[in-house]
Amino acid sequence: MDDAAVLKRKGYIMGSNLGESSFAKVKCAYSERLKFHVAVKITDRKNVPPEFLEKFLPRELEILATVSHCSIIKIYEIFETSGKVYIVMELGVRGDLLEFIKRNRGLPEEVARKMFRQLSCAVKYCHDLDVVHRDLKCDNILLDKDMNIKLSDFGFSKRCFQDENGKVILSQTFCGSAAYAAPEVIEGIPYQPKVYDIWSLGVILYVMVSGYMPYDDSNVKRMLRFQKEHRVIFPESLTHECKDLIFRMLQPDVSHRLRIEDVLNHAWVQGKRQKPHTMLE
């Protein structure tokens, strides 16, 4: 039975293609029960590697079934049939954040602040549940009709666990996109996944306010050198507070990188002014 027939039996009228990733495709569909359009992520179990099938997909399904936050994409239904998994979720009717940034060639700080605060609240919610995303990027942030952000694509997410001494068990899998990846992840060093998420947040905020990436990932070796030297070149138009927050999130030393609570309490996120000499130290 093809996807359209499967969805029809479940009360969904399949529409246009919204996108494809390595292991899944996303379709627009109309829900006859909900009376509005939804997105349906379809994963064919026969076309994915064993590691994805045994490790990543079960994690994604378990986490999606438990998270519920106003800035995380809403899941309406998950079902499986004929070797495929269907995740029915909220539709980002305004597209994704990357498209929005490109159209506007970067965002004013006031606009970026509102969106970034929403995103950071979603990440804090996840981290408080010991859930890490590990693929935070502008393409995975959708926009609703009111331009509120909706974090999506939990395909690389996992739960954090602690050993018998209470220390966080480090992750070793390279996840996400190189352009958003922290230096320790690119180097293949076992990493603290929550701290990795913070680096990706720093890249996202930089892209929001500048319209381009902080590092050129076409040469990963050179990019890694710049990252480890803590080299960040900012547009001159940015406020001191914005530069400071990005600089502290793009900190190569994981012991000094901000935690999500620090991000939310930062002067820029709070909309406060600081004296320039207190920053970038």
Domain boundary among 64, 89, 114: 89
| Confidence band for 281, pLDDT divided at 50, 70 and 90 | very low
The whole-model pTM stands at: 0.94
| Confidence band for 276, pLDDT divided at 50, 70 and 90 | low
65 and 144 in a common domain: no
Question: What is the SS3 assignment for 273?
Answer: coil
124 and 42 in a common domain: no
Domain boundary among 69, 89, 109: 89
115 and 82 in a common domain: no
pLDDT in tens, 175-197: 889 999 999 999 999 999 999 99
pLDDT of 261 over the 50 cut: yes
206 and 85 in a common domain: no
pLDDT in tens, 25-79: 999 999 999 999 999 999 999 988 988 999 999 999 999 999 999 999 999 999 9
Q: How far apart are CA 85 and CA 31, in angstroms?
A: 17
Q: How far apart are CA 2 and CA 91, in angstroms?
A: 22
- Structurally, how many domains does the chain consist of? 2
Q: Which of 181, 68, 76 is nearest to 129 (CA)?
A: 68
102 and 143 in a common domain: yes
Domain CATH for 63? 3.30.200.20
pLDDT in tens, 84-138: 999 999 999 999 999 999 999 999 999 999 999 999 999 999 999 999 999 999 9
Quick check: is 135 catalytic? Answer: yes
105 and 75 in a common domain: no
217 and 192 in a common domain: yes
Encoded tokens for 253: 């030393």
234 and 150 in a common domain: yes
CB 135 within 8 A of CB 175: yes
pLDDT of 167 over the 70 cut: yes
pLDDT of 259 over the 50 cut: yes
113 and 166 in a common domain: yes
For tokens 């393409």, the residue is 139
DSSP per-residue codes, 166-232: SPBPPB-S--S-GGG--HHHHTT--B-HHHHHHHHHHHHHHHHHHSS-SS-TTSHHHHHHHHHTT--
146 and 52 in a common domain: no
C-alpha atoms less than 13 angstroms from C-alpha of 163 in its C-beta half-sphere: 6
Question: Which residues touch 33 (CB under 8 Å, ≥6 apart)?
Answer: 11
Report CA 134 to chain centroid distance, whole Å.
Answer: 7
33 and 153 in a common domain: no
Domain CATH for 142? 1.10.510.10
Range of the domain at 75: 3-89
201 and 143 in a common domain: yes
Q: How far apart are CA 110 and CA 127, in angstroms?
A: 25
Q: How far apart are CA 249 and CA 207, in angstroms?
A: 13
pLDDT of 154 over the 60 cut: yes
The residue from 135, 153, 197, 244 that is catalytic is 135
pLDDT in tens, 213-251: 999 999 999 999 999 999 999 999 999 999 999 999 999
